[in-house]
Amino acid sequence: MDGILSNQIRTLRFHHGEMSQSELGQRIGVTRQTIAAIEAGKYSPSLEAAFRIAEVFGVSLSDVFQWERAGSGAG
C-alpha cells in the first residue's frame, strides 16, 4: 500500500524556541543529518525514534507524523 509519511517536526521545533536539529538529534540519540533527513521526508524513522521525537515535544505520535494513502486526496 503506497502512501506518504509527512511530519510536523519543523513546525514543532519552531514552537519549541527554534530548537536546532542538532539539539533534537542529541535528545533522541541520532545525528543532525538524520533529523534533517526525517524532516525532509527522505528517511522514515524507527517506531522508537518516532516516539522519542513526540516525547521531546510533549505531543502524541499522530501530532508529529501523519500517514496519507497515495491518491486519497484526489477525490
Partner 1 sequence: MFGILHVMLVLLDIESMWFYIAIHLKGGIVMPYREKIAWLSLIAMGVTFVPYFAIVASGRFADNPLPNLPLMACFAATTITQMIILGVGHLYLRSASPEDARTPPDERDRAITQRAMTTAYYALMAGVILVGCIMPFKQVGWSIVNAAILSIVLAEIIHYSVVVVSYRRQV
What does the binding site for partner 1 look like in residue numbers (CB under 8 A)?
29-31, 33-34, 36-37, 40, 42-43, 45-46, 49
DSSP state of 3: E
Distance CA 20, CA 70 (A): 31
- Closest to partner 1 by CB, 26 or 72: 26
DSSP state of 59: S
Smallest gap from Cβ 4 to partner 1, in A, equals 15
Q: How many CB atoms lie within 10 A of CB 4?
A: 12
Smallest gap from Cβ 75 to partner 1, in A, equals 30
